[in-house]
Every structure is written in structure tokens, then in C-alpha cells.
């Protein structure tokens, strides 16, 4: 496994679907930060299953407990261990899995990797693992907000064939996103998505979607060329989220069809005496380093692999089988993926911010 | 900086545009591998500027020297240092840069990060840095080929508005790719791309493009969930290449519009008694771990920022300026990016292969 | 903080004196290993306070719970989270500390580092933190024993002025060590130590001591030159244990006074056709790599800083104060340090073993 | 291999005895530092062989070249590659080694590890590898001196049976140390050492010794508990130097025989309003964190394994052999080890300083 992430703000997550608890240890959180369970619970609640009729019927309270690292509601600078107990475990739901690897799920590859079949299949690959990411991401985000005023807002920009209208990167807020349970700030498109997802749920099918994200007020200078460029770390972080298939930043794939003369972002002096750019095809990053403009990117999610329609496949022995899954799963993960994307972004940024602070502290004015 | 990459096969690159040499130290290369400069030079030649009329006029021989780590043409297991001298340095070409940050280039962000203006601007962000990547990637690729029969082939699948026809993932070869200097295995589209690029070069403009890549014969089991999933490491590696704006694997962004019932890849018994999949929307990876099917992905490159058309922008003081660059640069980087994409992929895979070998060696059959 | 250790077998510990729980997340444990709480509890019991009249009066049950990473008593290859609840918390015992930094304790330096005074002072520096080390070390040791037959045995070789007679490195066992609560396998010297420690406890004073350790059946080839040589990693690991002041391996400091002609260990063919050495001044390591001979080293522990005698010192403001500590503490830590030394050694070895297995798997016979 | 060291100031060294060049890549050096080859050459000259009649007769100029990372004598913040060409290569001197592993040298263990016999045996384990350490350590030391006024001074405190008188930690300087070629600031003892070493050289024998080191003006707060405590990183760094057998800090092994009431370092207000300690048994570190007092430690070196006396041993096949080495080697390494110890200390400190600066920059005053 590689369940750790970060160089100075370093997380180490744990937990599968059916163990006693899932959680995370945060090593390197600055001291003096006011932090209680409530700061973390908000994002966990946005992530948890059963929060709306669009998601899985599984009900998981997902209450976080701080085991260490704070005293009187303030961080000590020592490791912060966060734990969420697993309450609703029903391994029995996964009966056929012992002999049939589920198509496009991780049963087969986990067996290839670990040589062992867990009752929950690729249990560690389940969305439940993301609790540790979201819990630690909430801490990271709080640091970024309090130190730099960073704002991270993600939303559902597409589901199946429906694509939301463009949002204003300067003003979009989590409150606006949460106005519907699709987390799509375009109400009209959200309604179409709802209809689609509801019908897919009944049909035992699923759909993919896209989560967009904007990050405002990132100080210029974050990102560690060459191999930890800001967009490279964001790409890694986003593709580490279950079910993701693509990442694009700024102009993205569309930029590949553009000319330099239209793609280049000319500089201009902005208010506060800050050098900024008129357009933002760069997505807030140039040469792997933030330039102070809003960072914006999109993450593609495939349709969930677990569907309740019968599927023609083979068992481990290679014999033809019809698999009919019984587990309770989301027909579309993107609404619940919104806080995961935000959390991953926060984890990337806080680590790079710490590294840049170290550099600046030892810079020589020669 | 973060010029190192990998956990067990670990590279550390160095060099800017105008220093004495660029290169890389490889730590963790297995011993006993036959290795000479010729093994490395091939890919460097595919990367170097001036190789065809489509690229920059700069002529750089880019001859690699092995400084350490081999004896009698065999690796010792000790660090392999590779060096390429910088011969053709003309810092004078970058005159205006002292006062005007080039739009969509790294001059401004490098200054924000390091507090210093180098004569070559964001010199470390230049494509010249990729020599270290390509040189070490050639070593990584040789290991993968000799141990597992891995084949990594990348090609230009789009440039500007032109998109090549689909290629056969099972048969596409580097020889086929190199049949034209566009590295586009669709000759008809290649001609259109050539015409476009030639005209853009004359017009002082540039275009973006897409590089596609397929990796065959990857053993099942590679990839370290959660944060170093195979697709996550590939995404990081690709977005660390200069000028990249997007990464997608398997079905990619198109998969976000699909239904689970069409996206899922049913299992089937393949020749050799290996469990495989009928379709490959997963792109050879499930749950972050290779499943033995071909890995295929695409990388979007923006148009090069350096164009010779006059650009309206501001200088560091915020005063309006018209910038007219004089440096020699590629109007389209994707043909030269092909070996860089292949090299990055090899670096990702060899490191994950070593980690999986360690795991398997200490697996318990309980 | 840097509460993680290891490259492939990687631990991340958490917990201070007065938080809800202490513990550790193990990332990279091989799959298929039989593992239950009982495998871990044994060493925790040897470490815990209150186990004999020689140690602190604090009673801490220190019962470990496996939160994740196993199913049906077998490791899954996923992260193993281990937790020990804090039951006996009496922060009130540390009253004066708010204003007076305890001499030779970590109160002052933790304040300098983190800018915050925790109720338990340098709480993370307390011996309680070592629970995570010991718990994960027990897992590491089990792997080493089952795969390679490695045996790690530490013992108290000195306390205050008393030095135990030499033990036979080939036969010393944990059972022999545990025959008395001093963990000194020289009964006569153990009695003298007991008398000393008992009298020091009454006098409110403390004493230092030395823990010796031997590791048998380590395969030749472990250790990663240059900066992670086997002795370098052991030195780091041992000096990371609270209260340690020195580390020496093989001939150690005495070797500095020897001549090469007497210090060199001539080779000889040993049973099983293994090349071994006649003497073992090298301590089982040459050039940073294990040679198959027993590894033996010694670790110096200072006397515990917390004594109940009045101490003349100053408060944070610099005003003279007499400090009289009230906490319950060990007059001599070495008996309880024995399992900590063994655990640290196991953590070092299992990580290097995994790295060497990876190397060997990809070695080329050229 | 593990030829890299450091988290934020990260070095990656390369080179064996008989390759084209040895050197190092420094990743993470702050920008704006004035740096030329001369800054580095001084310590390389103190390390190089042939500098006095006490050392090996091999003459190696060891001239360093900066390949990258500076412009106009100022660091750019990009990787600094340093190279020293190998001029005096005589692999022929090592004739017997192909069949006979040299006692207490690394021939056997390098073969066990890498499965390959290099012409220089454990070439990477040779003292020649330390050039990369010393070159990068010189850069680290310059940063520490200019930012914090740190002074690092090491000296020979013992060789064979001779032990120098105590030096004053507050005043000892490199100039004083270099007054004789023994680098022993006690002239009388230095003479005895010289006589011993001269006679050993003639007799084809060697002797061990001890290097002591003091570091002044280290800011309080450096060191990353738990596993990267300052003394733990120093221990790792020192035991990574070839031929080292032991490390002790502050009271060291002698402290193990002391009582808490005599070992504790009472606090006192020092000039400049800094809280300091009256005694310094802690060696400048408490709880793994620097306290502002001088850090002082000692490193034990075994006698060099290469002696020219005939040695009774066996060849790889196990047959008895008399080995008579012909290479040119030092009868005592400690004078040349002095700059290596200083360099390693600087590498440890600069990395921990960067990490502490990052922490302090994001500390919250709550």
C-alpha cells in the first residue's frame, strides 16, 4: 500500500469496508490551530452515504473522534489521529464475490496484488477509504483559509450527457453548490441529472460525471518543479480518488487544439498591485507554480462499477457466469465526490505551502 | 525544487538551459543490467531539438555520458550518473525577459518562488530539463522490457484541430510511429499536421496537441493504493512534463458520460490461462492496480508559450509593453514529447514493479 | 513532527501522555501473515509501566486493538491500525510545569519548537509514545522470524556502575532475559542493580544504564549504502528512543583503540557452506551491509530526568526556583527499554529486507 | 542503494573508486546564496588523500565543478550538481580481490547484496564516495553560517591508545584544529599519534580513532521527534560514514553510569535573555530538539581494514589463503574524517532548519 501522502503535512490513512474503524494520522500539522471534531464533521457529512435519496441506502453516521494531537481544542503540533468507527457492516451482501471477480471493480487486481481475497473484495479501494482523506483535508483546508484566505469550491459540472452551464470562478461558493443535493449550481441541469439518476437507480444501472473545482487566493509561488509541480500533484491527488478517469487543468484538452496566440494569458496589473493575467487558460499555474490567479480543474468519474443488472462474465476459474450484485451502491458518485475533490486539493496545497514557506525563510537577498 | 521521483528506482535530475550540463542520478537501478550510452542515446535523439524541420532550429547534439554506476558495460547496483553537456547556449536571445515576464511562461512564477531572475527565466521549466527524464527513462524501459517484456509506445494523436484515426493498441510500434517526423501513425492526418505547423512557424504562432500512449505486457498487480495508484502516478508523471494540461486513462472524460452497463469490462479467459477483459474502458487499471490488459492514456499539451508574434502585456512594474520574443522554439512540441511520455511511463512502472516484487517476496501463504 | 519511519514497511505513530489513545498505522505489511492482538500484546506487556516494583507505580493496562488491516486473523496487505487507549491520565501531577521547565526534560525544547505548552510538557517525548513503536515492532519481528528465522534479543547489560558479565550471543534468549525483572541475564549483577534502583527510588533519584542487543540469522545483504547503511539505520532508530545518549556496534568505541591487524575479522567457511568470520568485531555488518554473522550493539540510556529530589533551576522568566516534581516515574528505564530496543531493531530490519528482496527480484544475471 | 539524504535539503550522491567522476546533486538549496567552487573546495582539500605524509600516497586533485544551479555565482534555487573527476584510477592494484574477499572490507557483503564483483570491490563503500557528502556539506554549512551563525568544528580526540585533553567547546576553531596534520588540537598528544601512525604505516598496520565535534549557535527548536530527533539524525549521518562503529552525544556512554541528580542540566538565564543550562550533559539536545546550547558528540572509527600485512583468510570458495593487499591506504582515517563529520552534521542541521522554518511560518497564535 501507499496510504501516505505529503512531505511536510503528511497523512497516513487506514481502514477497509468491514474493519472496526477507518481514519487517518496527520503528521506535521502546525501548532496553535483551533481544531475540534466539528471542524472536520462538516465535510464528512457532505461525503457520507445515505445523505439524500440519490445516494446509496446505506446509513453511516461517520462520526469523527480526535484521538490525539490537540489539547483544549488547539493543535499541539504532534500527530493528529482521527477515527471513524464502522457501524453498518454487512459483509454478507457480497456473497458471489468469493468466486466471481466483479467487472471493473478491484476484486481481481487486489487478488493479483495481495494474493488474498478479503470478504469485501478490493475493500481498501472502496469509497469508504476516502473518509481519511476528507477528514485530514478538512484540517488542511482550515489552515489554508486561516493563513492565506484560500477558498476551495468544487461542484458537479456534468452527469451522464448533461453538462451544467459555466459558473463564475470568482463567486461560486459551497453554499451555492449545496443548494441542491446534486451539488450542481445550475438548477435546471440539476433537475435533468436527478431524473436520470433516479431512473438509473431503478434500472440497476449507473452513470459517470465530472466534478469541477476552483481554488481562489492561492499565493503565487506554490508548486515544486519538476516532479511535484502543482498541477502534477493535483493530478496525482485526483486520480487517487476512486473511479476517476481523467484530470484537466485550465484550458485542458481543449487547449490542445488552440494556438499559442490565443492561449497565452497576457499579464496585467491587478488591484492590490499584484501582477495577474487577463485570461486564465493556464488555470492559475505556470511552469508548475501558482501565479495567484484562480486554479481551476476538472475531474472525470466513470460510472460506478457495481450495478444490479445481471452481467455476463467469468469466475476466477474462467467459467462463464452471470453476476447479479446485491450490495447497496450509488448510481452516481459525483455529488458525494465533491468534498473528496476539495479535500484532496487542500492536502496538496497545504503541503506545498509549507515547503514554500521553508524556502522563503532561508532565501538570501544577495 | 523537487527534482527527484520514485521510491525504489529513484531519479534526481539537474540542469537549466544555460548551465554547464544537464543530467540525472539514478539510485536503485538493479545490478547486472547490460547498459551503455547507446541504450540511452536512442531516446535522447528522438527528444532533441533540431531533429527535423518541424522543430526548433537550435542544434544540440545531446550526447550522454555515463559517469558512474557501470563497469564493463554492466550496472553495479550503485548510482548511475548521466550527463549531457550544454553546447549551444545563447542567453543573449532572451533580452527583454529581464523586465517583461513572458505570457504563459514561467518567468513570473519562478521569480515568485525563488525571488531571483535567471537569464533563462524559468530555465528549469524549459524542455531542456526533460533530458534527465528521458535518459533515466531509457534505463527504466530497458529493465521493464528485459524482465517483463513490457512495450511502451507513444504517438501524436492530435495537433491543433487534426485528430488521427484510432490505432491498434496491440500492434502499434515505435518503428511505425517514427515513419514520419510528426510521429503520427496516420499518414494522411500527419500531412495535415505538417502543413499546419509549417504555416504556424512562418506566422510566428504555435499549436497544442495530444500524445497517446499504450503500454503492453504490464504484469497484473502494479500500483500502490491509495495515493500511489498506478493511474495517479501516471497522472503525476505526465503533468510534470512541461506544457501539459490534461491526462485521461481508458475511457477518460468520455467515460463520464457512459453508463455502468456499457462501461464495465466483463472478464473472459484469455490465452495462456490469464483472466482478461473483453473491453478495456478501464485502461488496464482497476482499483489503482494493473490488471494485465494494455494500459492506454492520453496527454494534452498546450501550444508553446513562446511565439514570435508581438504580444500585448505588461512588464514587472505593470507598464504596458509589446513583447516580441526572439528565441528559437518549437511551433508544436508533441512530436518531441513522444519519447518524454514514454520515459515518464517507464519511470512510473519500474518503481511500482520493484515495490510489488518486494511485496510478493514477503507474502505469506497462510 | 516526524512520526513515520521506514520506506516500504512504514509506520506512523501518534499519541501523547494525556490524549484519548496512542497507536500506530503500519503501511506496507505483507499480506497473508497470521496476526492477532495476542502477537502484539506480549511485547507491550514487557514495555508497560507498573509491571514490577522497579518501575513507576502508574498502572496502565495498555491493551492493544487492531482497528484495520486484518480479516479472520490474517493480514490483508492494507494498513494495519493499532490503538491503545489511555486510561490512567493524571495531568494534575504536573502542576509546576506551567511555569518551570523541568531540567533535562523536553518542556523547554517543545515550547521552542511548537510555541505551545501542553499540560504534559513534552508529552510526545514521553516514553508513552513508544507504544506505537513496540506494537509495530512486534509485527515486524513476527515477519522476520517467520520468513528468515531472525531472532532479536536485548537485555540490560549495565545499570549505574554495575556491568553484567558477557553473554553468549549464540544462545541468549528472551526467556533467559526475563528470568528477573531487571532483564539482566547475570543474576548476581542483577541483584546489585536491584538494590541500587530500590535505594534510588527511595532517595528520589535515578540512574542510567546500557541495553545490549544481538540479532541472529539476519540474511547477508541487508542495508542500503550510503545513507541508510544498516548500522546507520540502527543508530537512528536507537537514538530515537527517549533518553538514549549513545550507540555502538561490534567493537564500538573500544575498536577505536585497536589495530587493523587485530580488528579485522578473517573469513572462514562455516557449516551450511556459508562464508562467515572467525571474530566479529564488525558486529555482523561490513560496508553498511549485513554479512550473516550476529549483529550486536549497545545503547546507552541516561538517568531519567524526572527525579523527586528538589532541583535548583529557573522558571521561564529566568527567576530562580526550586522544582520538586510529583509525577510517578521510573528510577531506571533500561528494563522497560529492552522490548523497545528489540522493536526498533525489527522495524529497521524488516524495511531493509523488503528493499533487498525487491533488488534481488530484478537482478540481472548478465 | 540509498544515496540520498534529507527531506527539504536533499542530496543524491554518486560515484565509485574507478568510474569517470564522483559527485552529488543538491535539491532544495535556497536561492540567492553566493556560491562558487572555492566555497566547496576548501573542505574537499581537507578531505582529499595525499594531503600529508600521514595519509595514503594516492594523489587526487579532487577539483570540484559546479555543473548547474548557479548563475553569476549565486544559487538559483534549482538543483546544484557538483562533480569531481576521477583522475588517479589504478584498478590493477586490487588483483587478489577477484577471488579473495578482504577481511572486514565490503567485498563480500557487496557481492551478497548486488550479486556482482566490481573491480574495486565494495567500491561504493570506499572513502571516495564521501566526496559528495563533503561537497554538499560545504554548501549546507555556508547556509547555516550565513543565516544563523552556526559554527561546526570537529577534531581528532583520540587515535589508538592516545586521547587528547579536553578542548573548550566555546572557542575551538577549525584554524586551531588544522595547526597540525593530525587535526588534534592537543599538540603533545598529536605528536604521540604521529609517531604511532608512522610506525604503523611502516608495519603495514592501521589504527582506529575518535573524532569529536561541537556545533555552536544552533537555534533552539531543531529536530523532528520522534524518528528524526536531532540526535537520531546525527547518529544516522555519522554511522553512514565509512569505518564508524559508534556515536555518543553529550554525556554519552558515561552518562549511563550517572545519577539523575548529577546528570540533569539546571536552567539559568544566559546573556541575551536566552534560557540556557549550567551543565551540558544533554549535549545541546533535549527530547530530540536543540535547546540552544552547544551540540557536542563523538564518533568512533575502527582501524582501516586494508592493511599490507599478510592475513590468513579464505577465498570465496572457502579455501585457506594468505591475502597480502597492495593498494595504497591510510593507516588512520580520522584526520581526513574531520571534514566528513563536519559535513554530515551540516547536512543534518540545514534540513532540520528548513523544516522548522516551515513550521514556524504556519504556526497559529491561538
Instruction: State which residue of chain B sits closest to C354, comparing Cα positions.
Output: B358
What is the tally of structural domains in chain C? 1
Query: Is A328 a residue whose pLDDT tops 70?
Result: no
Asked if residue D9 lies in contact with residue D351, where contact means CB atoms within 8 angstroms, the answer is yes
Burial A301-324 (b: 16+ CB within 10 A, else e): bbbbbbbbeebebbbbeeeebebe
Which of B302, B317, B348 best tests the A interface by mutation, with the highest count of A CBs <10 A? B302
Q: Is A10 annotated as a binding residue?
A: no
The pLDDT tens digits for A252-282 are: 999 999 999 999 999 999 988 899 999 999 9
pLDDT of res. C13: 97
Q: Which residues of A touch D221 (CB under 8 A)?
A: none
pLDDT of res. D8: 97
Q: Classify residue D318: in a domain, yes or no.
A: yes
Cis peptide before C227 (omega within 30 of 0): no
Q: Which residues of C touch A111 (CB under 8 A)?
A: none
Smallest Cα–Cα separation from C346: which of C193, C143, C62, C155? C143
pLDDT of res. A183: 98
pLDDT of res. D88: 61
Nearest-CA distance C224 → chain B (Å): 10
Which of D78, D89, D121 best tests the B interface by mutation, with the highest count of B CBs <10 A? D78
- Using 50, 70 and 90 to split pLDDT, how confident is the model at C129? confident
pLDDT of res. D59: 56
The pLDDT tens digits for A139-173 are: 999 999 999 999 999 999 999 999 999 999 999 99
CA pair distance C143, C353, nearest whole angstrom: 10
Q: What percent of chain C has pLDDT over 90?
A: 83
Query: Is B127 a residue whose pLDDT tops 80?
Result: no
Q: Classify residue D366: in a domain, yes or no.
A: no
User: Mean of the pLDDT values across residues C142-170?
Assistant: 97
pLDDT of res. A123: 61
Nearest-CA distance C363 → chain D (Å): 8
pLDDT of res. D16: 87
pLDDT-wise least confident of A158-172, B135-149, B326-340, C265-279 = B326-340
Q: Classify residue A216: in a domain, yes or no.
A: yes
State the CATH number of the domain containing residue B94: 3.60.150.10
Instruction: State which residue of chain D sits closest to A361, comparing Cα positions.
Output: D357
Q: Classify residue D237: in a domain, yes or no.
A: yes
Asked if residue D239 lies in contact with residue C232, where contact means CB atoms within 8 angstroms, the answer is yes
User: Mean of the pLDDT values across residues C301-329?
Assistant: 90
pLDDT of res. B44: 96
- Using 50, 70 and 90 to split pLDDT, how confident is the model at B324? confident
pLDDT of res. C88: 61
pLDDT of res. C329: 75
pLDDT of res. D283: 98
pLDDT of res. C157: 98
- Using 50, 70 and 90 to split pLDDT, how confident is the model at D96? low
Asked if residue D67 lies in contact with residue D81, where contact means CB atoms within 8 angstroms, the answer is yes
Q: Which residues of B touch C4 (CB under 8 A)?
A: none
Query: Is C118 a residue whose pLDDT tops 90?
Result: no
The pLDDT tens digits for D318-363 are: 999 999 877 667 899 999 999 999 999 999 999 999 999 999 999 9
pLDDT of res. D61: 83
Q: Which residues of B touch D22 (CB under 8 A)?
A: 68
Burial B47-60 (b: 16+ CB within 10 A, else e): bbbebeebbbebeb
The pLDDT tens digits for B264-308 are: 999 999 988 899 999 999 999 999 999 999 999 999 999 999 899
| pLDDT, chain A, mean | 92
- Using 50, 70 and 90 to split pLDDT, how confident is the model at B60? low
pLDDT of res. B90: 54
| pLDDT, chain B, mean | 92
The pLDDT tens digits for C223-269 are: 999 999 999 999 999 999 999 999 999 999 999 999 999 999 999 99
The pLDDT tens digits for D37-72 are: 999 999 999 998 877 766 655 555 899 999 999 999
pLDDT of res. D91: 53
pLDDT of res. D324: 86
The pLDDT tens digits for D286-327 are: 999 999 999 999 999 999 998 999 999 999 999 999 998 776
Query: Is A120 a residue whose pLDDT tops 90?
Result: no
Q: What percent of chain D has pLDDT over 70?
A: 92
CA pair distance C242, C240, nearest whole angstrom: 6
Q: Classify residue A366: in a domain, yes or no.
A: no
Query: Is D86 a residue whose pLDDT tops 70?
Result: yes
DSSP class of residue C103?
T
Would you call A112 and B292 a contact, using CB atoms and an 8 Å cutoff? yes
Strands, E assignment, chain C:
4-5, 10-14, 21-27, 64-66, 70-71, 74-75, 80-85, 151-159, 162-163, 209-216, 244-249, 267-270, 274-277, 285-286, 289-290, 295-301, 311-314, 320-323
Query: Is C90 a residue whose pLDDT tops 80?
Result: no
Smallest Cα–Cα separation from A329: which of A309, A304, A300? A304
Would you call D32 and B67 a contact, using CB atoms and an 8 Å cutoff? no
Would you call D358 and A361 a contact, using CB atoms and an 8 Å cutoff? yes
The pLDDT tens digits for B225-235 are: 999 999 999 99
User: Mean of the pLDDT values across residues C263-291?
Assistant: 96
pLDDT of res. B16: 87
Q: Strand, helix or coil at D191?
A: helix
Q: Classify residue D292: in a domain, yes or no.
A: yes
Q: Classify residue A215: in a domain, yes or no.
A: yes
Asked if residue A313 lies in contact with residue A100, where contact means CB atoms within 8 angstroms, the answer is yes
Q: Classify residue C31: in a domain, yes or no.
A: yes
Q: Tell me the residue range of the domain where C199 lies.
A: 4-361
Q: Is B274 annotated as a binding residue?
A: no
pLDDT of res. B18: 82
The pLDDT tens digits for A24-65 are: 999 999 999 999 999 999 999 999 887 776 665 555 589 999
Amino acid at each position: 500500500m501507499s496510504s501516505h501522502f505529503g512531505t511536510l503535512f503528511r497523512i497516513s490513512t487506514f481502514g477497509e469496508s468491514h474493519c472496526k474503524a477507518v481514519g487517518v494520522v496527520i503528521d506535521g500539522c502546525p501548532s496553535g490551530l483551533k481544531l475540534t471534531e466539528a471542524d472536520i464533521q462538516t465535510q464528512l457529512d457532505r461525503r457520507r452515504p445515505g445523505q439524500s435519496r440519490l445516494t446509496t441506502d446505506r446509513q453511516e453516521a461517520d462520526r469523527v473522534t480526535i484521538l490525539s494531537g490537540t489539547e483544549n481544542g488547539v493543535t499541539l503540533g504532534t500527530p493528529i489521529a482521527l477515527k471513524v468507527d464502522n457501524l453498518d457492516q454487512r459483509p454478507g451482501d457480497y456473497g458471489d464475490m468469493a468466486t466471481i471477480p466483479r467487472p471493473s471493480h478491484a476484486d481481481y487486481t487486489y487478488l493479483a496484488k495481495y494474493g488474498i481475497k478479503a470478504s469485501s473484495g478490493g475493500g481498501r479501494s472502496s469509497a469508504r477509504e476516502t473518509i481519511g482523506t476528507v477528514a485530514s483535508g478538512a484540517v488542511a483546508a482550515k489552515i489554508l483559509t486561516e493563513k492565506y484566505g484560500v477558498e476551495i469550491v468544487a461542484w458537479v459540472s456534468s452527469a451522464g450527457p448533461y453538462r451544467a452551464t459555466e459558473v463564475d470562478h470568482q463567486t461560486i461558493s459551497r453554499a451555492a453548490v449545496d443548494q441542491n443535493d446534486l451539488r450542481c449550481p445550475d438548477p435546471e441541469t440539476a433537475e435533468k441529472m436527478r431524473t436520470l439518476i433516479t431512473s438509473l437507480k431503478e434500472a440497476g444501472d449507473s452513470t459517470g460525471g465530472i466534478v469541477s473545482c476552483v481554488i481562489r487566493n492561492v499565493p503565487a509561488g506554490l508548486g515544486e518543479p519538476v516532479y511535484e509541480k502543482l498541477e502534477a500533484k493535483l493530478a496525482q491527488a485526483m486520480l487517487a480518488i476512486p473511479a476517476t478517469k481523467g484530470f484537466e487543468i485550465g484550458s485542458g484538452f481543449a487547449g490542445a487544439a488552440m494556438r499559442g496566440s490565443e492561449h497565452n494569458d497576457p499579464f496585467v496589473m491587478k488591484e492590490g498591485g499584484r501582477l495577474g493575467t487577463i485570461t486564465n487558460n493556464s488555470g492559475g499555474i505556470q511552469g508548475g507554480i501558482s501565479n495567484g490567479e484562480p486554479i481551476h480543474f476538472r475531474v472525470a468519474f466513470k460510472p460506478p462499477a457495481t450495478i444490479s443488472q445481471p452481467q455476463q462474465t467469468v469466475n476466477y476459474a474462467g467459467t462463464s457466469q452471470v453476476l447479479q450484485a446485491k450490495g447497496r451502491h450509488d448510481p452516481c458518485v459525483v455529488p458525494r465526490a465533491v468534498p473528496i475533490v476539495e479535500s484532496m486539493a487542500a492536502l496538496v496545497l497545504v503541503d506545498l505551502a509549507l515547503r514554500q514557506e521553508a524556502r522563503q525563510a532561508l532565501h538570501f537577498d544577495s
